[in-house]
Amino acid sequence: MADTGKSLHKVAVAGATGRMGHMLIEAIRDAGDCELAGALDIPSSPAIGNDAAAFLGMASGIAVSADPRAALANAQVLIDFTRPEGTMAHLKVCRELGINAVIGTTGFGEGHKAQIADAARDIAIVMAPNMSVGVNVTLKLLQMAAQALATGYDIEIVEAHHRNKVDAPSGTALKMGEVIAEALGRDLKDCAVYAREGVTGERDPSTIGFATIRGGDIVGDHTVLFAGTGERIEITHKSASRSTYAQGSLRAVRFLAGKRNGLFDMFDVLGLR
């Protein structure tokens, strides 16, 4: 139970009955400076109307709702790890109500990203394809490696996730590619290779390759390979639990406290700029 003697961050959770939603609710419950203020899910969820912490065998006093306005009425910030369409609908309500947002959803198109940037004129948003502190430190290492290995090394990104993940490559893998491409003075849209089949010809050294694996219950594995002549460097991050995403999300919540607008990422949250 949160310490009511402190100033609490009042947090709503979207996708409250999913695996990530449960992890976030448990992390909020265990945090001394956060309080669950709303729980949101799709109308077809059988948990609508139930206590959001029922899965823990506890009562939070917060019922799962399909109404974004009702779920956000008492919140200061929304954490959203859902689907792009749902996140955009929730973000519209956040903007209208002046509620900040932490967005961990992946699979956004360029149009979605433009709308999120526009919403950030009125509310403060942290958006990152991976909220893990370790992943974001890995991104910083990749930036440094790419700058040092700018010539003579082929770059390949391999990612693996559970069988239920709906987008590929993962948002984290794409972010890794973006960080590397930017460090090399390139645009990922111009140099990414997402599939190889048949007679492909020799590898273009200016490209960044992606390989995707889906299977079982893999939480998330990412390896970036810098393959040179006579040596190769591999930088790997492996997630064993979604709890790392939840803890990173709460760091983002704390970072947003007192901010009125702006679009930020986990580099901002962790001071890695």
Measured in whole angstroms, the distance separating CA 48 from the mean position of its chain's CA atoms is 25
Instruction: Summarize pLDDT for 97-140 with one digit per residue, the tens.
Output: 999 999 999 889 999 999 999 999 999 999 998 999 999 999 99
Nearest to 167 by CA among 257, 262, 76, 82: 82
Instruction: Identify the three-state secondary structure at position 51.
Output: strand
**Torsion, CA 113, CA 81, CA 211, CA 152, rounded to 10:** 60
First to last CA, the chain: 34
Tell me which residue of 146, 137, 156, 126 sits closest to 250, measured CA to CA. 126
What ranges make up the beta strands (E) of the chain?
Answer: 9-14, 34-40, 64-65, 77-80, 100-103, 124-127, 154-161, 192-193, 208-214, 220-227, 232-239, 262-264
Residues 95 and 173 in one domain: no
Strands in 64-65's sheet, in edge-to-edge order, are: 64-65, 34-40, 9-14, 77-80, 100-103, 124-127, 262-264
Residue whose entry in the numeric block shows the structure tokens 């694996």: 213
| Cβ contact 41:48 at 8 Å | yes
- 1 part of a folded domain: no
Q: Do 109 and 15 share a domain, yes or no? A: yes
Q: Is residue 226 part of a domain?
A: yes
* 250 shares a domain with 119: yes
Encode the chain (273 residues) as per-residue pLDDT tens digits: 444 456 899 999 999 999 999 999 999 999 999 999 999 999 999 999 999 999 999 999 999 999 999 999 999 999 999 999 999 999 999 999 999 999 999 889 999 999 999 999 999 999 998 999 999 999 999 999 999 999 999 999 999 999 999 999 999 999 999 999 999 999 999 999 999 999 999 999 999 999 999 999 999 999 999 999 999 999 999 999 989 999 999 999 999 999 999 999 999 999 998
User: Do 17 and 97 fall within a single domain?
Assistant: yes
Looking at the structure, do residues 178 and 207 belong to the same domain, yes or no? Answer: yes
**Does the annotation count 259 as an active-site position?**
no
Between the alpha carbon of residue 87 and those of residues 38, 103, 113, 159, 255, the distances in Å are 15, 8, 11, 24, 20
CATH number at residue 46: 3.40.50.720
Please tell me whether residues 140 and 75 are part of one structural domain.
no
Paired tokens of 99: 């509620």
The one catalytic residue in 161, 175, 222, 237 is 161
Cβ atoms of residues 92 and 115 within 8 Å: no
Same domain for 94 and 187: no
> What pLDDT sits at residue 2?
46
Q: Is residue 2 part of a domain?
A: no
Of 89, 84, 55, nearest in space to 72 by CA: 89
Shared domain for 19 and 119, answered yes or no, is: yes
Q: What is the pLDDT of residue 6?
A: 66
Which range of residues forms the domain containing residue 177? 133-239
161 in catalytic set: yes
The pLDDT of residue 3 is: 46
Q: Assess if residue 3 is contained within a domain.
A: no
> What's the number of domains the chain is made of?
2
Let me know whether 202 and 265 are in one domain: no
Q: Which single residue is written with the structure tokens 């590898």?
A: 203
What are residue 63's DSSP bridge partners? 51
> For the CA atoms of 96, 22, 252, 237, what is the dihedral angle to 10 degrees?
-130
pTM (two decimals):
0.85
pLDDT of res. 5: 53
137 and 216 both lie in a single domain: yes
Q: Are residues 91 and 165 in the same domain?
A: no
Question: What CATH number should be reported for the domain holding residue 194?
Answer: 3.30.360.10
Instruction: Mark residue 220 as left, alpha or beta (left: phi above 0; alpha: psi -120 to 50; beta: remaining).
Output: left
In this structure, the answer to whether residues 138 and 234 fall within a common structural domain is yes
